């Protein structure tokens, strides 16, 4: 019965996708701003068999309570035209800035007086309240209850389109551009929707996302369902075996599950209203970073033999300092990507200098991890523990190395596909690592090689000192029984030494 309700919940969860709308922008353009960039939106390739339901659309309302003696400009451009337009916005003389921004668009953008052969890139705003925009000459091409509509049809390839507003107006007599310099303040209110697929069709589902974000909701839900199985199993394991390693791993796994759940909530909400919960998404991203850093700490501790060959950890300050530095750098990279990377640039977080720095840092930590693991294995002779360390090292190495390789591959992938590639491989690698670690640390298996403290356990610190003494040739012990007794290996040339007893 529970399974039946679970499947029903999942079915209804997925069916919610069918009522989605599109990316929604709502805000104000103020007279204190000369230029405002709104969004970069990926429009999908138009399907030849159903062009009307696979085209891209931008539609909405742009009005103002203020009176503008001439209209300013709403601009929608492809990247090839947008770069020159965008880079000239910073010129101090705004009249000159307007001239340069639109110098190449004068003949490419349609204007009824100056450019009859141009394309439909510009709109004069604000539009009259309750009426169509001045440039809309056919009301049948405008989405119902809206003032303007852009339609994008491209049968060759998907493309990014850039949406912005600028306080420039076109002199239709001289065909020149000028800065709208108003001494009285004005505000323009906009309510804009962007969608892949016809907004009048009920058939489109998650295509309201920008093309580079399509199918991300399905990815999040798929991995969320995997974690929905893995997390309860691990919580059950930590109840059976209350061990520091198990607890640290469970904390890392739960953090990752929380991060994924928050991202699912944000993406679902975005699909429903085109806006989502940005703060929830940011909290989810921070939890994801904390999860990966805590998982890295666990790998480093196990590589040094903590709780497997010894309970006393050597070089504690160094281990925790490296872990802390990696976490701080990772968070700084996230903040840098949000605040410093220009949205019009087709780069991801690992194509910036903080991104390369964290990849180098991660690669150095991986080398140190391998060195510590090799050292631990050299001083270990118990077959079960060696088998654990071998499998642990192989799976951990995959987790360490996938990101540098992925970053190099992403350099050669179009920005239209890059985000989905990074998201899919990153979550796959993390999920694989957690599944393998849960398997290796399962209580019935890990009790064979974990050092478990009991009420009658020996003083293992003294045993470690004894085992590391220079006069000992074989410095390993074979197993630690549940009663706390330890069988110490036979030591050559030491007939007087006695085995340790509980």
Provide the percentage of residues in the chain whose pLDDT is more than 70. Answer: 84
- How many whole angstroms separate alpha carbon 90 and alpha carbon 69? 25
pLDDT at 384: 86
Query: For the segment 423-449, what is each residue's pLDDT rounded down to a tens digit?
Result: 999 999 999 999 999 999 998 887 777
Smallest CA-to-CA distance from 80 within 369, 346, 258, 333 is with: 346
Q: Which two structure tokens, joined as six digits, stand for 488?
A: 């110490």
Q: What is the DSSP code string of 172-224?
A: TTTTEEEE---SS--EEEEEEEEEES-TT-S---GGGS-GGGTTHHHHHHHHH
Distance set, CA 56 to CA 37, 59, 119 (Å): 19, 10, 16
- How many whole angstroms separate alpha carbon 439 and alpha carbon 234? 10
pLDDT band at 189; cut points 50, 70, 90: very high
pLDDT at 248: 92
Residue 54 or residue 432, greater confidence: 432
pLDDT at 22: 62
- CA 410 vs. chain centroid, Å, equals 14
Domain residues of the chain, as ranges? 22-196, 215-447
- How many whole angstroms separate alpha carbon 268 and alpha carbon 216? 10
Q: Which two structure tokens, joined as six digits, stand for 117?
A: 């052969």
Distance set, CA 497 to CA 116, 127, 470, 476, 486 (Å): 100, 95, 14, 15, 15
Query: For the segment 464-480, what is each residue's pLDDT rounded down to a tens digit?
Result: 443 444 443 344 433 33
Phi/psi of residue 190, each to 5°? -125, 145
- How many whole angstroms separate alpha carbon 351 and alpha carbon 328? 19
What does the buried/exposed string (b/e) look like for 361-399 if buried means 16 or more CB atoms within 10 Å of the residue's CB? ebeebbebbeebbeebbeebebeebeebbeebbebbeeb
pLDDT band at 340; cut points 50, 70, 90: confident
CATH number of 215-447: 1.20.1070
Query: For the segment 382-434, what is each residue's pLDDT rounded down to a tens digit?
Result: 888 888 889 999 999 999 999 999 999 998 999 999 999 999 999 999 999 99
Which pTM value belongs to this model? 0.80
Element containing residue 152 per DSSP (H, E): strand 148-152
Residue 60 has pLDDT above 80, yes or no: yes
Smallest CA-to-CA distance from 211 within 194, 226, 224, 199 is with: 194
Segment 281-304 mean pLDDT:
93
Provide the percentage of residues in the chain whose pLDDT is more than 90. Answer: 45
Cβ–Cβ under 8 Å, residues 285 and 322: no
pLDDT at 201: 61
Residue 457 has pLDDT above 60, yes or no: no
């Amino acid at each position: 019965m529970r399974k039946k309700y679970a499947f029903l919940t999942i079915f209804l969860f997925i069916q919610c996708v069918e009522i989605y709308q599109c990316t929604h922008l709502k805000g104000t353009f103020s007279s204190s701003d000369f230029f405002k960039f709104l969004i970069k939106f990926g429009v999908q390739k138009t399907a030849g068999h159903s062009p009307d339901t696979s085209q891209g659309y931008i539609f909405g309302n742009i009005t103002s309570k203020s009176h503008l003696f001439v209209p300013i400009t709403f601009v929608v451009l492809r990247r090839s035209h947008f770069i020159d337009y965008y880079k000239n916005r910073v010129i101090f003389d705004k009249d000159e800035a307007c001239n340069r921004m639109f110098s190449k668009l004068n003949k490419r953008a349609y204007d009824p007086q100056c450019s009859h052969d141009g394309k439909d890139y510009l709109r004069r705003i604000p539009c009259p309240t309750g009426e169509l925009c001045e440039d809309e000459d056919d009301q049948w091409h405008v989405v119902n209850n809206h003032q303007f509509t852009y339609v994008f049809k491209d049968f060759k390839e998907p493309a990014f389109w850039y949406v912005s507003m600028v306080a420039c107006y076109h002199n239709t007599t001289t065909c020149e551009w000028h800065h709208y310099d108003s001494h009285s303040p004005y505000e323009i209110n906009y309510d804009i929707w962007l969608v892949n697929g016809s907004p009048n069709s009920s058939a489109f589902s998650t295509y309201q996302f920008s093309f580079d974000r399509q199918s991300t909701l399905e990815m999040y839900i798929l991995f969320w369902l995997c974690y929905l199985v893995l997390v309860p199993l691990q919580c059950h394991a930590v109840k059976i075996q209350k061990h520091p390693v198990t607890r640290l791993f469970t904390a890392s796994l739960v953090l990752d599950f929380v991060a994924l759940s928050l991202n699912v909530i944000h993406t679902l909400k975005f699909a429903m209203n085109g806006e989502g919960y940005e703060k929830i998404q940011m909290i989810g991203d921070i939890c994801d970073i904390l999860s990966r850093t805590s998982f890295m700490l666990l790998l480093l501790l196990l590589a040094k033999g903590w709780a497997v060959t010894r309970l006393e950890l050597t070089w504690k300050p160094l281990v925790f300092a490296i872990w802390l530095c990696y976490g701080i750098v990772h968070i700084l990279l996230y903040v840098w990507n949000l605040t410093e990377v220009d949205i019009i640039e087709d780069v991801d977080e690992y194509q910036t200098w903080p991104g390369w720095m964290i990849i180098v840092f991660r690669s150095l930590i991986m080398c140190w991890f391998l060195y510590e693991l090799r050292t631990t294995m050299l001083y270990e002779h118990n077959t079960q523990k060696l088998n654990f360390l071998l499998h642990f090292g192989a799976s951990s190495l995959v987790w360490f190395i996938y990101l540098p390789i992925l970053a190099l591959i992403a350099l050669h992938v179009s920005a239209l596909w890059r985000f989905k590639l990074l998201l899919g491989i990153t979550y796959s690698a993390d999920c694989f690592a957690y599944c393998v670690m849960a398997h290796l640390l399962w209580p019935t298996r890990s009790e064979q090689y974990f050092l478990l403290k009991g009420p009658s356990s020996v003083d293992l610190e003294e045993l470690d000192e004894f085992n590391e003494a220079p006069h000992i040739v074989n410095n390993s012990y074979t197993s630690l029984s549940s009663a706390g007794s330890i069988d110490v290996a036979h030591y050559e040339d030491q007939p007087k030494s006695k085995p340790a007893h509980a």
